Amino acid sequence: MHNIILGVTGSIAAYKAADIANTLTKEGNSVHVILTKAGAEFITPLTFQSLTKNKVHTDMFADYVPSEIQHISLANKADLALIAPASADFIAKAAAGIADDMLTTVILAIRNKPVIVCPAMNTAMYENPITQRNINTLREFGFIFIEPREAMLACKCIGKGALAENEVILDSVRKMLK
Which residues carry out catalysis? Answer: 155
Closest CA to 29 of 77, 97, 71, 63: 77
State residue 57 phi and psi, 5-degree precision: -95, 125
Give exposure, 49-81, as e/b (b: 16+ Cβ within 10 Å).
eebbebebbbebeeeeeeeeebbeebbeebebb
For residue 91, count other CB atoms closer than 10 A to its CB: 26
3-class SS of residue 11: coil
How large is the C-alpha radius of gyration of the chain?
Answer: 15
